[in-house]
Structure 1
Amino acid sequence: MARVSQEHLDARRRQILDAAALCFARNGFHATSMQDVLKEADLSAGAVYRYFSGKEELIAAIVGEVLGEVQTAFEAAARQSPPPRPDQLVASVLGRTLGLRESLTLDGVPAFPRLVVQVWTEVPRNDELAAVLGKGYAAVRAAWTRIVEAYQEEGTMRPDIAPDHVARTMIAAVLGFIAQQSLFGPAPVEVLRDGLRALMSVPGPDRASEGSQLG
């Protein structure tokens, strides 16, 4: 029997994960059966179960993969001196994450934002998924905290705000932007980038008071 190459195994795994992601985005986790995934992937049960034992393992793999990509990108940014500006960094990481999944569409609409919302609804009922998501969130939050500390050290961000507060806010902005796309339709990442850039240009209380006194 010919030996199956690692490239073939990786491609097959990718095929299964993409099929499962589409099914979950379309109908939700509980309304999707493994038979639905088999049909979407156009594979036999044996081919799929060779890689994944069931829906729980599939969704954990999908979430872990995305969080791993995001974590790697932010940790790389944290090692730069200085790190990219927040607006540029968010747009770059989110754009890459969405770009890697641009082939996943439902009726021509990107499926990834809908998948993210479906994952959120499943977390309270799925301890394994909650653990994966919690671990990924903590890692991204820690990376963002280091980035904010670098901004503060170089004097480009005010030092009197706790870095963790900024980290949580940046993550919230990204998650909110994804939720908007799921609810109201796709939007380019430049929208979020430009919005953050505008907010970053608002003067702080000290600068605002100085301006009013000059006037």
Structure 2
Amino acid sequence: MARVSQEHLDARRRQILDGAALCFARNGFHATSMQDVLKEVDLSAGAVYRYFSGKDELIGAIVTEVLDEVSATFEEAARQSPPPPPDLLVGQVLEQVLGARPALVDDGALALPRLVVQVWTETLRDAELAAILLRGYDKVRAVWVRVVEAYQDAGMMPADVPAESVARTMIALAQGFVAQMALFGATPAGVAQEGLRGLMSMGEPSSRS
């Protein structure tokens, strides 16, 4: 029997993850069965269960993968001296994460933002998923703190502002933008970038005679 290549195995795993993400985004975790996933990816039960034991493992894998992508983007930024300014960096992350998988476009609307909001809701009742999300968040937050510290070392940001506070605020901005997309429709990541640039450009009010 011919040996299956790693490339084929990786492509099949990608197919299953993307198909499951679309199903979850459309109907939610609880209304989606493994049969729905099998139908979406057009594979046998044996082929899918070779990679994932069930819905919970699929959800955990999707969450971990997205958080790893965000973390990797900021790891790369943290290695630059100095890193790109916050408006460019947040815009780059949103574009990379939201545009990373064309397969997650469903009926003209991005499925990933809807899926993210569902994950947040699910963590309120699923302790295991909450633990996965927390580990990923802590990893991302630590990298963002390093980026902020690099801004401060370069004199781009006041040193008397806690780096942790700035990092959490930047994360909240990205999360809020994703939530807006999930609730109100797809919006270019450049909107968040422009808005943040506008806030960063504020100065003291000009005096008027």
Q: Structure 1 length as normaliser, TM-score?
A: 0.94
Q: Residue 163 of structure 2 aligns to which amino acid in structure 1?
A: P
SS of corresponding position for 1:32: coil
Q: Which whole-Å deviations, capped at 9, do the CAs of 1:67-94 have from their partners, x for residues lacking one?
A: 1011011011111101111010111111
Measure the CA separation in 2 of the matches of 1:104 and 1:75: 25
In structure 1, what is the equivalent of residue 135 of structure 2? Answer: 135
Question: Is the 8 Å Cα contact of residues 101 and 112 (structure 1) preserved in structure 2?
Answer: no
In structure 1, what is the equivalent of residue 114 of structure 2? Answer: 114
In structure 2, what is the equivalent of residue 148 of structure 1? Answer: 148
| Structure 2 residue 46 is matched with structure 1 residue 46 | yes
SS of corresponding position for 2:43: coil
In structure 1, what is the equivalent of residue 21 of structure 2? Answer: 21
Measure the CA separation in 1 of the matches of 2:160 and 2:30: 46
Q: How does 1:165-180 map to 2 (within 5 A)?
A: 165-180=165-180
* Offset of residue 106 of structure 1: 2.1
How many residues in Structure 1 have an aligned counterpart in Structure 2? 209
In structure 2, what is the equivalent of residue 194 of structure 1? Answer: 194
- Identity value in percent: 67
Q: Structure 2 length as normaliser, TM-score?
A: 0.96
In structure 2, what is the equivalent of residue 33 of structure 1? Answer: 33
Measure the CA separation in 1 of the matches of 2:128 and 2:78: 29
Measure the CA separation in 1 of the matches of 2:9 and 2:168: 37
- Which stretches of structure 1, 4 residues or longer, exceed 3 Å deviation after superposition? none
In structure 2, what is the equivalent of residue 160 of structure 1? Answer: 160
Measure the CA separation in 1 of the matches of 2:20 and 2:87: 32
Measure the CA separation in 2 of the matches of 1:138 and 1:27: 29
Measure the CA separation in 2 of the matches of 1:19 and 1:184: 23
SS of corresponding position for 2:102: coil
Measure the CA separation in 1 of the matches of 2:42 and 2:25: 18
Q: Residue 107 of structure 2 aligns to which amino acid in structure 1?
A: D
